[in-house]
Structure 1
Amino acid sequence: MRPEEIGSLNNLVEALHRNAVGRGGEGALHRKVGGRWEAVSYGELYGMVRDFAAGLGGLGVGRGERVGLIARNRVEWPVTDFAVQSLGAATVPVYPTLEPEQIAHILADCEARVVVVEDEELLGRVSSVREELPALEHVILMEGEGATPFGEVLRAGRERPLEGWEEGWRSLGREDVATIIYTSGTTGRPKGAVLTHGNILSNLEGIQDALTVHPEDVFLSFLPLSHVFERTCGQFLALAVGASVYYAESVEKVPENLREVRPTVMPSVPRLYEKMHDRVRAMVAGGSSVKRWLFGRALAAGKRRYEVMDRGGRPGVLLRAELALYDRLVFRRLREAVGGRVRFFVSGGAKLDAEVGKFFYAAGIRIMEGYGLTETSPVIACNRLEKPRFGTVGLPLSNLEVRISSEGEIQVRGPSVMRGYFRDERSTGEAFTQDGFFRTGDIGSFDEDGYLTVTDRLKSIIVLSTGKNVAPQPIESALVTAPHISQAVVVGEGRKYVSVLVVPDYAAVRKTLGVGGTDEELSGDGRVQRLIEREVEEATRGFADYERPKKVALLPRELSQEAGELTPTLKVKTRVVQRRYGGYIERLYA
């Protein structure tokens, strides 16, 4: 579907309907059942949406209502999403990793009358705060017992079709609300960003113009659909163009699923690419001297190709011959490890280190970094296949205006920018300039070719006691590319110098130093401390002296979502980490 075809759509349900008519027998969604991938065709998906919508209508869901959705990625997710929207209601996605009180805040704030949950464990969380949800009338359960079964609602809708349903969704326009997404963020209480059908469709138009997706494309979906990045790119865009979506079994199974599914497109976050990068480097380091030499030469040749292309040139005959040889000897195996037919990966949600992007580009795996926010549906800018520029988030989408304020803030205006925050006029007013630009809260700049670089969040800037301002994100991104560093959090607000909390890659440390012991024991080992300090010094060599961490503290375990230290897109919740490891920080400055 071309951008202008998306532009002719009035709502998101219409996009699905077009493919149900034109590609009804083609696979839309795929899930693994009993060790085998099963397909749900576009025709079957549309039928499930129709039936579930009728079932929801029987429960009183209609225009202007809000329906909560708490589940991991699975077929029932888009079925619920499209069904709710087809009734003129708004889907309110909730991360399944949230605690009961966080779930209560979202469901109470949007006054959801119905909530659809995945399993008994999530049902228990909702039930534990039921007294705080006076508007909630019905809970629908995808699997398990204890609430109205999903299958029962589906069956009821099939047996009692909703009269005028198709006419109803056809009457929906771009100005109608499609979803309310509560910003996860790393600070503050979540606010509900109100996105219309037109907001999301406009974003699809801009994305399709920048990074064209085809019906033949195959997506592997593993980022949470509760996040706007995966939902817009991995659900709405994929299903609008008639592509195939495969739901990964789990984050741990992604490497295996990559080889099975052989996707052509996959949205992800930098953390995945960093881990892939580290695994390849570790394998190379453990190989023979000849293999290390060959890989080094191949990588250098690939990076030379990128530099030539970035300058607007074309590789010469000798470089092309060299690349062909190294591709056959080195890089083909690396591409096969991710399925062998990836057209491009997409990176969003946090900063991708430029060296990681160049590393995979050299191997023939293109990672297109982009940038956006929940409030902008989400994509604001992205790199293009024909000329990516690593270290930037690419060029703004063609249907958006993007500017840098006098304070250095990125501001955006256009059809994919949210209507406002749900029932929060004050926050909405503060989020926009007088001339209608949305304040992103991010610091950035344009280069001479119009490529946008995002430095950090305005609120994340560390102000030293010397008056110097330090943006922690570029430093942290550089640190996690080091062979023995898994995670890094730069600290130093109000201090004379910056320091860093580091979670070492303890498996790599054991291999390099030839030592044993638990992670906690190694975090107190002087040899590990010296190794990490050397890597911190080396990784930050290109930064100004006041930006380079002067002291390093080793944390005994990986920061995680389960412990409340990472957002669902694996960004560090800096305030949580600083509170939790306050003693470590104080000792750094003692």
Structure 2
Amino acid sequence: MKGFERDRERVWEIAGRVRRARSLPEAFRMTVLEKAEKPALGEKVGGRWREFSFREVYRRVEDFASGLAGLGVERGSRVAIMSANRVGWTVADVAIMSLGAATVPIFPTLGPRQVAHILEDSGARVVVVEGERQLAAVRGSGASVEHLVCMDEASAGGGVLAFSEVERRGARSRDPGWEARMLSLRREDVATLIYTSGTSGRQKGVILTHGNLLSNLEAIIEVVPITDDDVGLSILPLSHVLERTCSQFLNLVGGGTNYIAESVEKVQENLLEVRPTALLVVPRLFERVFAVIREQGTANPVRARIFESAVRTARRKYRHDAGEEAMSLARRLLFGLYDLLVYRKVRAGLGGRVRFCVSGGARLEPWLGEFFYGAGVPVAEGYGLTETSPVISVNRFEDLRFGTVGPPLPNVEVRLSGEGEILVRGPSVTPGYHNLPEENAAAFTQDGFFRTGDIGSFDEGGRLKITDRAKDIMVLDTGKNVAPQPVETALANTAHIAQAMLVGDGRKFVSALIVPDFEAVRRTLGENLPAERLCADGRVRELIRSEMEEAAAEFPEHEQPKRFALVPREWTEEEGEITPTLKLRRSAVAARYRDLIEELYAAGSSPQPARR
């Protein structure tokens, strides 16, 4: 694709800093020395955006590190952070690492039982929390904690230190040897201990070293067209390695500016305020933007036909640029018209100046990627795991191929086992799990490749394609395998389905639990009915049945749901049904709706949709 030529000298300059660094704080320091007064981070303070320069962030890191040292944090310590994204998160993270300690991120919505396991297993004795909710979770965990530090000053006191107080203490008693000790860190030192959210079972602590993360950053900089002029918006949780590596650290070592979204609910507003040039997102954002544009563009039959033609034309633009088909003069003229009517609204909704997006965390539907490309918002889908720091592969913007996650990074080896499992080896791969020797033995092959648990294949261009999680594959009683995620994604991309989960392991056929998009259904019916009544409404069932059959028609017959049941509320992280990165906890959903699933399969020998 055209338009992604890069200044190779600037790329190698940034990559060179990362290559020379022996730790993440040292790589950050190199950027500070070069771009001291440039804005590094921004967040809303009192309703207005406040920017923090690289020099200012570095000073705060030194102050907070000195304050932590006064609390007994030293090389080899573990310090947990349990907070939503904010500048203090980044300050604490880099400060902890600068002392030779390891950061232990905890998702801010976790409950006391999960927090207890993470704190006890990691051995963290100092915990940095956001506010009252996180304080309650830590206190309720019963874990032995020596110091609690709270970012919300109103929640401090009574044995809880304010974050700002730790900074002030550090500023008053700065250690003149702090920087020298930071520069003595080595790549093999542990930088962080990340507990995987998982889809079932107890969380495992993934050990990542400074070298793991630096090697991943170096390779990302070589293949993704990021520059030190880029502006980002931090949307995904910093507790997750994807956001932490590819947003926080990529900007800190690359010299870009990263603004922190106020919340998921404020993302649309923040996009218009910040006007980012580069975005790291999950596919759900594209699905939501498309749903809004589709709703606006299908208000009447005439507009609906125009919108459908605009979608087809955008996809044709992608295929033309990819060299897959020619684009006639008439189509090019039509493309220009649709750019005025439709595509510019897509770009405007993302702030108006996005050069590119990287999508990860879940499968991006190829047609959706093609549409956004044609609308002027190129999206590169990537793939990775916590255990790989995280990026394993990513599409190259000069040669996007939707439906794949691109070639492996330059410093990563990928091969497939005899069963198609993706195996990975390279400097970004974890040395292992914390306190789990048996898990470690099972996680690696004899020649050192990490077993991802994902099933995949390579296309003719060496691009990786993900089929599904090995452990999620269902086996019907006919012996046929079903990979549920692609079907579920297709269902959730329809106009009136918000979430879907296939069931049928050990059964004769596949069924689906479906959460309707209740707002979309109400608009279609023109009636403001409660969710329970909508799920029982024959018109809604027929609407969902029609969309389900159409969306699943592209899949093999045995993968198409034969029955479905409607669920009257969205699956949430708070209820334990999805992970903080929006993946389904299949076992939790299946357990909650066990009776409903049994009803689906007890509805008679002829597979008709269950009426629920």
Shorter-chain TM-score: what band? over 0.9
Provide the residue aligned with 1:481 in structure 2: 493
Partner of 1:169: 182
Q: Deviations over 1:368-392 (max 9, x none)?
A: 1111000000000111111211111
Is the 8 Å Cα contact of residues 405 and 465 (structure 2) preserved in structure 1? yes
> Aligned partners of 2:408 and 2:169: how far apart in 1?
46
Tell me what 1:304 maps to: 316
User: Aligned ranges for residues 461-540 of structure 1 at < 5 Å?
Assistant: 461-540=473-552
* Higher mean C-alpha deviation, range 206-215 or range 460-469: 206-215
Q: How does 1:100-115 map to 2 (within 5 A)?
A: 100-115=112-127
Does residue 388 in structure 1 map to residue 400 in structure 2?
yes
- 2:365 paired residue number: 353
Identity of matched residues, %: 53
* Aligned-residue offset at 1:483: 0.9
C-alpha offsets along residues 115-142 of structure 1, whole Å, 9 cap, x if unaligned? 1111122111111223x32xx2111111
- Match 1:137 to one of 136, 146, 157: 146
Residue among 194, 207, 213 paired with 2:226: 213
Structure 2 residues not aligned, in runs of 5+ = 1-12, 603-612
Query: How many Å separate the matches in 2 of 1:342 and 1:352?
Result: 18
State how far apart, in whole Å, the 2-side matches of 1:452 and 1:480 are. 24
Could you tell me whether the CA contact under 8 Å between 1:309 and 1:387 is conserved in 2? no
2:277 pairs with 1:264: yes
The corresponding residue for 1:422 is 434
Q: Equivalents in 1 of 2:543, 2:333: separation in Å?
A: 39
Answering whether residue 592 of structure 2 is matched by residue 580 of structure 1, we say yes
Look up the equivalent residue of 2:121 and give its one-letter code. Answer: D
Aligned mates of 1:373, 1:490 — CA distance in 2: 23
- Give per-residue Cα distances to partners, 1:247-278, cap 9 Å, x unaligned: 11110110111111101112111222212222
Note the C-alpha offset of 1:365.
Answer: 1.2
Once the two structures are superposed, residues 202-259 of structure 1 have per-residue CA deviations (whole angstroms, 9 ceiling, x without a partner) of: 0001111111211111110121100000000110001111111111111011011111
Q: Is the 8 A contact 1:393 1:453 kept in 2?
A: yes
Count of paired positions: 586
Q: Deviations over 1:455-499 (max 9, x none)?
A: 111100011011110000010011111111110000001100000
Paired residue for 2:606? none
Q: Does 1:399 align with 2:408?
A: no
Aligned to 2:265: 252
Between the aligned partners of 1:167 and 1:402, the Cα distance in structure 2 is: 38
CA contact (8 A) 1:356 1:481 kept: no
AA of the residue aligned to 1:137: E
CA distance in 2: counterparts of 1:490 and 1:343, whole angstroms: 36
Structure 1 gap segments, 5+ residues each: none
In 1, distance between residues paired with 2:223 and 2:99? Answer: 32
Query: Matches of residues 418-457 of structure 1 in structure 2 within 5 Å?
Result: 418-457=430-469
Alpha-carbon distance, 1:524 to partner: 1.2
Which of 34, 37, 59 in structure 2 is aligned with 1:22?
34
Moved more, 528-537 or 321-330: 321-330
Name the CA shift for 1:186/1:128 in 2 (closer, same or farther; >3 Å).
same
Is contact 2:476–2:505 with CA below 8 Å preserved after alignment?
yes
Question: Given the superposition, is the C-alpha separation of residues 243 and 315 from structure 1 closer, same or farther in structure 2, using an over 3 Å criterion?
Answer: farther
Using a 3 Å threshold, how does the CA distance of structure 1 residues 114 and 314 change in structure 2: closer, same or farther?
farther
Distance in 2, matches of 1:180 and 1:107, equals 11
Cα distance, 1:320 vs structure 2: 4.1
Q: Which of the residues 275, 280, 283 maps onto 2:293?
A: 280
Change (3 A) 1:448 1:96: same
SS in 2 for 1:326: helix
Check conservation: 2:294, 2:307, Cα contact below 8 A. no
Question: Matched residues in 2 for 1:455 and 1:68: separation?
Answer: 35
Q: Is the 8 A contact 2:510 2:561 kept in 1?
A: yes
CA distance in 2, matches of 1:203, 1:314: 38
Could you report, residue by residue, the CA deviation over 1:124-168 in whole angstroms, capped at 9, with x for unpaired residues?
1111223x32xx211111112240111111111100011311100
SS in 1 for 2:411: coil
SS in 2 for 1:395: coil
Which residue matches 1:243? 256
Letter in 2 for 1:257: N
Deviates more, 1:571-580 or 1:276-285: 276-285
